[in-house]
Amino acid sequence: MRLPKMVTAAAVAALALSSAACSSSSNEPAKAPGSAALQGQTLTVAAVWSKTEQQNFEAVLTEFEKRTGATVQYESLGDELPTVIKTRVAGGQAPNVAMIAQPGLIAEFARAGNLKPLAANVESIITDQFSAGAKSIGQVDGKTYGVLFKAANKSSVWYNAADVATTPKSWDEFISELKKQSDSGKTPLSVAGEPGWALTDWFENIYLQTAGPEMYDKLAKHEIPWTDPSVTKAFEELAKVFGQSSFFPGGNAGAVATDFPTSVTNVFGTNPKASLTFEGDFVSAEITKAGAFTVGDTARYFAFPQLAGKSAVVTGGDIAVAFKDDAATTALMEFLASSDAASVWAKAGGLLSLNKKVANDVYPDATTRQLAKELVDAGDNVRYDLSDLTPSAFGGTKGAGFWKAMQDFLANPANVAAVQQSLETSAAAAYKK
């Protein structure tokens, strides 16, 4: 997109760099280029969000417009976003900025030359305000292409406060709590086995803690096989839970057939069937929708139990990337990377940020504040959802690959070796394409 004739690109870049220098020494956002510089510029932004999420993001974009004079047009593409963006890129009609949830797709665009590496002033904000682990989420082959704008905390266990007196801190304490409830005649745990992605999150949390971030990165890139002993260890730990049929409503077969909303209402519905369930911070929305429990009061959560004595969090979400590198696009990416942009939405609720300079008290309630704090406190031990880092044929296809293998494991947790070999066979085929 061309700049107005009265403002040179060099002048705008100088303003942007100046503002970045200021933002690194305070919690002020990147404000330049100024409104005069971007007056008359129009940008397009594509994301999946609609309804309340769209309204909250449009408030972020409105703040950018006020500060710069630019006009931003938002387009909600829903679940079709990857397909639509691919089509538009192929036709030379890519948006200025898109929010993409799949790092694998981002890598595909980057390696094809469709994405623009972030400008130095934008990268400096990310370096200053995010941990190295968080920054790596937007990197491809050592270059920074994006920033995780809207994050999820996928390391949370939710429970009925009337059923759990003391929240477990360690994995052993967690298993002991499940056994105690089971021995007393209760059914402790509701697992969403029908959507394979939810089962992958169990493995990812355990593997990140037992193998560590570096091995997690290697497995995501298939630099080590799924038959590696570190993978065996994670499955053996998970079998301590999945191998107890009495833990689940309807046993293992019932767990395999349970969809995500039901896994929540099994615990927080009008007729509870279990005491605990595991998934990300988005469980709270399902609890509120069910209407029988109150988040933070009768419905609470604790961090995924520790297996190695270290805090580690699996995250996911929406990564802002740029398909253009004109001054207006750079200014928008600069703003989206800043703590001020995240704070606009965080105040309204429904957004967590990995930005260290987003004040924790900006979040609207104690539960959200704690979820956000755990994300930031994990530092370099935060990692993006592993299944989203792999080729979609392996990590994102219903009834195949990682999803199917985890369902098979839940159905028969005794056969770890067979599940590992199935994973390795699927991964080897997917990574060759």
Domain at 42-152+315-378, CATH homologous superfamily? Periplasmic binding protein-like II (3.40.190.10)
* Kind plus residue range of the DSSP H or E element containing 43: strand 42-47
Q: Do domains 42-152+315-378 and 156-311+390-432 have the same CATH topology?
A: yes
Write down the domain spans for the chain. Answer: 42-152+315-378, 156-311+390-432
E runs forming strands in 233-338: 276-279, 299-303, 313-322
Q: What is the pLDDT, as a whole number, of residue 308?
A: 84
Taking the CB of residue 11, how many other CB atoms lie within 10 A of it?
14
Q: What is the pLDDT, as a whole number, of residue 18?
A: 38
CA proximity to 329, closest of 97, 98, 17: 97
Cα–Cα distances in Å, from 418 out to 34, 373, 428?
60, 39, 15
Tokens of 241: 């839970």
Cα three-residue angle 353-355-360, rounded to 5 degrees = 70
Fold classified for 156-311+390-432: D-Maltodextrin-Binding Protein; domain 2 (3.40.190)
CA proximity to 316, closest of 387, 391, 385: 385
Q: Could you tell me the mean pLDDT of each successive run of 10 residues in the chain, 433 residues long?
A: 33 38 41 64 97 98 96 96 96 98 94 97 97 96 97 98 96 98 97 97 98 97 98 98 98 98 98 97 97 98 92 96 97 98 97 98 98 96 96 94 98 96 97 86
CB 232 within 8 A of CB 424: no
| pTM for this entry | 0.90
Alpha helices in 42-143 (DSSP H): 51-68, 81-90, 103-111, 120-129, 132-136
Determine the Cα–Cα distance for residues 150 and 60; give it in Å rounded to an integer.
12
Tokens of 104: 């694998």
Q: What is the pLDDT, as a whole number, of residue 30?
A: 45
In terms of phi and psi (left: phi > 0; alpha: psi -120 to 50; beta: otherwise), the region of 221 is alpha
Q: What is the pLDDT, as a whole number, of residue 35?
A: 52
Cα–Cα distances in Å, from 376 out to 20, 55, 409?
22, 25, 32
Determine the Cα–Cα distance for residues 114 and 117; give it in Å rounded to an integer.
10
Q: What is the pLDDT, as a whole number, of residue 408?
A: 97
